[in-house]
Structure 1
Amino acid sequence: MMTTLMNEKDTKKRTRILVKKGVEYILLKLEDVVFFYTEEKLVFAIDKMKQKYVVDKNLSMLEAGLDNTVFFRANRKYIVNINFVKGYKPYQKVKLIVDMTLPDLNHSIIVSQETAPYFRKWIAEM
């Protein structure tokens, strides 16, 4: 019984994530996360209110637990939420720069040449 429960939990994508703000731990709804990013070996989540939280996982671990129809690993540094992507434009001929719906976030999210075709396909299918 316990094994079945564990297997079901593994296959079900999460809807919330435990994050830290100061000394407080908060359950943050994934639908409210604009993107995750890494900086100086820490991982952060930015929500739709532009609040910044610390995430106690690396991006690869996070990516494995996220719904890939909603979240996309743009590069080594960012995972973006489709619901906050306004669009994209070419950058340095072969790369893409992602335009997010929230202004003033001061993050340049660049999709590499190798990942760009997958990003275009992901955007088109949503």
Structure 2
Amino acid sequence: MSKLNAIIIEDEVPAARLLHSMIARLRPQWNLTIVPGSVDEAVAWFKENPQPDIIFLDIQLADGNAFDFLSATHPSSVIIFTTAYDQYAIRAFTVNSIDYILKPVDEKRLLDAIIKYETLQSDGLPRSEEYLEALLDTLQHKERRHRTRFLIHGADRFWSLQVADIAYFYSENKITFAVTKKGQEHIIDLSLNKLMEQLDPERFFRANRQIIISIDAIDHAEPYFNGKIVVSVRPPYKSQITISEEKLSSFKLWLNY
């Protein structure tokens, strides 16, 4: 069996190492590399290295998602997704990706995906341009319901917070906060990664590792150094919101959708 280059892009280091050890046992002849699990770092790696034959790609990355990475790099590589999405939410991915693996990763399921890749490779893989175009379209239009409200617990009562009333979410000291359009803050018992799995991507954008912004909250954006931009929101966020050069095209597409 011919030697090939495979990379793992996963935002959780233990999960990346576990997947690496599984693949190494199943295909010891492969060249395996763990790439940092953020959009910015993965894009930077692609600029400095040859494209691999296959990518094991987590859908939700540390500072964005698989769409941000794919739209920035347009890899010719074949994709196998690793994801925590349930089967209903990820059904569309099976149409245009080689395969997907639900977390926690089962070694038999992993082997099935590898064999599927090898079989398709011997039969002739789809043209990379057509494959990537279809894959990006699927990622943007995946079939799923999006969260519309959160249950907020107070000292002596609880109430429903509507997602439509939220300007942005931010993370600080591993605590997630929702800030309403009126400037009220509420603790949300979900990480930013989990939130991006549940929010409507047409309404919310992962600007960076610390913050998710609503389309309604954006006041304006202006150029920054090194190809970055700074975004101002309403109500004002306590820190500067920067969007990297690698995510800029995705941000502009999102604004103009």
Q: TM-score, normalised by structure 1?
A: 0.82
- Report the equivalent of 1:46: 179
User: In the aligned structure 2, how far is the partner of 1:21 from the partner of 1:111?
Assistant: 34
State the match for 1:124 in structure 2. 256
Describe the shift of the 1:20–1:69 C-alpha distance in structure 2 as closer, same or farther (beyond 3 A).
same
User: Could you tell which deviates more after superposition, 66-75 or 91-100?
Assistant: 91-100
CA separation in 2, counterparts of 1:110 and 1:21? Answer: 32
Report which of the two has the higher share of helix.
2
Write out aligned runs for 1:34-113 (5 A).
34-103=167-236, 105-113=237-245
**Structure 1 consecutive aligned stretches of length 4 or more whose deviation exceeds 2 Å:** 18-26
Any idea what SS the aligned residue of 1:72 has? Answer: strand
Residue type of the alignment partner of 2:212:
I
Gaps of 5+ in 1: 1-6
- In 2 relative to 1, CA 22–119 (structure 1 residues): closer, same or farther, beyond 3 Å? farther
Query: 1:53 deviation in Å?
Result: 0.5
Secondary structure of the 1:69 match is: coil
**Native 8 Å contact 2:226 2:245 kept in 1:** no
Does the 8 Å contact 2:182/2:235 carry over to 1? no
Secondary structure at the residue paired with 2:194?
A: helix
Cα deviation per residue 1:30-85 (whole Å; 9 max; x = unaligned)?
Answer: 11101000000100000011111100000010010000000000011110000111
The structure with higher relative contact order (CA 8 Å, sep 6+) is 1
Listed as ranges, the gaps of 5+ residues in structure 2 are 1-87, 90-142
Q: Is the 8 A contact 1:94 1:113 kept in 2?
A: yes
User: For the structure 1 residues 22 and 95, does the alpha-carbon distance in structure 2 shift closer, same or farther, using more than 3 Å as the test?
Assistant: farther
Greater Cα offset, 33-42 or 111-120: 111-120
Larger of the two Rg values belongs to structure: 2
TM-score (norm 2): 0.42
Cα deviation, residue 24, structure 1: 4.4
Q: Does 1:30 align with 2:142?
A: no
